[in-house]
Copies of this chain bind each other. A is one copy, B any other.
């Protein structure tokens, strides 16, 4: 982890390498906006206020220190000056860059307001030298105010009524209500600039802005401008040891009056305090829900904070570029153990994007309605997770409308409609139709004529039926779906008869009747997910399952995880879709797509391959020593590692955060490996014995109870709770008293 280290017991990460292979990102968000910032505090804030989908600001957020005609960007250090120190603290809901140079220590903390599309910047400057410093702080950022192509509507100048700049874009028939932006500070502004051009110079660059070559900024009003900026000059004088804190707020407003009101509201101690409390509260809640001391501080940091954070982002903002139905369902399945009320609401809200025929919209906000057919198969698992966590069966009665329909139905109806859709859309091999695609978004043309069939989707449907049957059993409900178990068996038979080939399941049949993922295929002869999911769906078990998965090891394993498929496609194939046009080794075309590796890990746990499962996880971890230059944020999970099919980028992780992997890994580790398993009857403790090598302590909140669970490798299996001996398969007692229950689970070590 050459780029830095976890601090605050894992709740923060300190980036120490200023210029790593690629920028390292942190996401901040509230209900209205979402930001992505790198180690300098550069990035974008996207707002969804009142149905908008627009930027508040993007690119640089700079703090120049200007003293005696010399200047430098304290958070960025463009010129690679010999700073005394520089570091970026990546926190839960904040980004804090601290640097020291020539006796000034500058700390820059970015947060979002608790509510609203507002960035809060806190700058603290301390004179750590023995001399007085007379200098100016000059900030710089780039608000996005040109909301249409007409630059004539835009205008910015020194604000009337607060210290700072107000930007306006009072357009005719404006597409967005937020036509104003305020950038305000609680200090006296000496001078300002409001456009990139006026700050950097027409031919200048941001590294050495021409405005800083003069005594003061030029304070030019701006209109007819392509690129707006916000630069505020604040003169400061600090005696040795003295410290000054300057606050800034940047936000959307609908008018000048609204700006005035919001500046007053957000440029307050209270607003900054509230924003801080959001972080503290998140951290506390994460810890309360599940807290582990596994002996591996890296895993602990991820399990205690950062996987949760990533899941939290997923359940709130989907994949950020849009809210995916399957993505939110999966993240929510996991999020349920942190905040079951919010998870409940999220399930209800998301099911409103299921069509009346049972299929689901691929993505909303914005809508993407290519007819993917897998949406329904993700619902039972999520509802089952909710029931196991809460035992709250009332959710099944909740009434939710269907998408683009005047009808609605209970959540039980929604579950049934979904399974009906899958079972009623089958092809000539009796397998589920591929439609516009399944989990594999990029095989988007194999079944578009509604002829092709997906073996993977058939397998996933079996798993969905399994989960649904478990829901019925737990909740003692009847289903109106007739002959469900027979139909499931028919599907399993079809999977074996037409979907299995010597040593692996194929991916499917395309519209032309060609096999995909078969040894007969020209390229893409073998895919990962049909194998892992056949195990998850319990279509193969035990030794057969292990054999099936060992074939995946042979075919797909790299030092940094499992490729999605091999060989990657090198020739575009209309009978596959966009996947086959991707450059080999990228995304679903032969990358180590971590979501798939996480499914594989789950399958390995299911098949009793616990050590292999842990190994799968260790390969994926950003600190994998076999893939040292992967470019990853150590505190997040990558979407993919580029596969060997692209030798010049192999192992590199260009994207992170925005992936369903985090949720699956969280479940795999907490429930699979450590065995802290919520069930309808109560919390069960079922650790994988061969993974527990020393005492592990876990705090788990469950239905209002708090358990302190000690997993102890010893000479026998035993379970006690508050000193009372239990059967090892027995759920922990629910006392309803809210106190902390001490649980000991001794584990008999397997003899190797």
Contacts and interface: CB of A to CB of B under 8 A. Distances in A.
Interface in A521-571: none
A170 B224 contact: no
B646 A581 contact: no
A578 B171 CA distance: 7
B648 A152 contact: no
B649 A586 contact: no
A577 B172 contact: yes
A408 interface: no
Contact of A583 (B154, B220, B583, B642): B154
Contact of A172 (B221, B581, B583, B648): B581
A220 B648 CA distance: 8
Contacts of A154: 583
Contacts of A171: 578, 581
Contacts of A572: 170, 172
A172 B445 contact: yes
Contacts of A203: 19
A270 B154 CA distance: 49
A29 interface: no
A31 to B, nearest CB: 26
B205 A587 contact: no
A188 interface: no
A608 interface: no
B153 A581 contact: yes
Contacts of A574: 172
A454 to B, nearest CB: 18
A675 interface: no
A41 to B, nearest CB: 14
A153 B580 CA distance: 10
A154 to B, nearest CB: 7
A487 interface: no
Contacts of A582: 150, 152-153
Contacts of A21: 202
Most buried by B among A173, A582, A646: A582
A274 B505 CA distance: 61
Nearest to A18: B203
Interface string A212-242: 0000000011011000000000000000000
A89 to B, nearest CB: 20
A253 interface: no
A589 interface: yes
A586 B445 contact: no
A586 B203 CA distance: 24
A58 to B, nearest CB: 14
Interface residues of A, number: 39
Interface in A165-183: 170-173
Nearest to A654: B224
Most buried by B among A152, A171, A207, A587: A152
A445 B171 CA distance: 13
A155 interface: yes
A166 to B, nearest CB: 14
A284 interface: no
A649 B587 contact: no
A170 B207 contact: no
A110 to B, nearest CB: 19
A524 to B, nearest CB: 14
B223 A649 contact: yes
Nearest to A655: B224
A28 to B, nearest CB: 22
A69 to B, nearest CB: 18
A281 interface: no
B646 A586 contact: no
A581 B154 CA distance: 10
A44 to B, nearest CB: 14
A583 B205 contact: no
B172 A224 contact: no
Contacts of A615: none
A649 B444 CA distance: 52
A158 B150 CA distance: 41
A39 to B, nearest CB: 10
A477 interface: no
A649 B224 contact: yes
A150 B220 contact: no
Contact of A648 (B207, B221, B642): B221
Nearest to A153: B581
Contacts of A220: 648
Contacts of A202: 19, 21-23
Contacts of A223: 583, 586, 646, 649
Interface string A184-210: 000000000000000000110101000
5 closest cross-chain pairs (CB), A and B = A172-B578, A152-B582, A223-B583, A172-B581, A152-B586
29 contacts: A19-B203, A21-B202, A23-B202, A150-B578, A150-B582, A152-B583, A152-B586, A152-B587, A152-B589, A170-B581, A171-B578, A171-B581, A172-B444, A172-B445, A172-B574, A172-B577, A172-B578, A172-B580, A173-B578, A205-B207, A207-B207, A221-B648, A223-B583, A223-B586, A223-B646, A224-B586, A224-B642, A224-B646, A224-B649
Given A173-B578, A205-B205, A207-B207, 5 more contacts: A153-B578, A172-B581, A223-B583, A223-B586, A224-B654
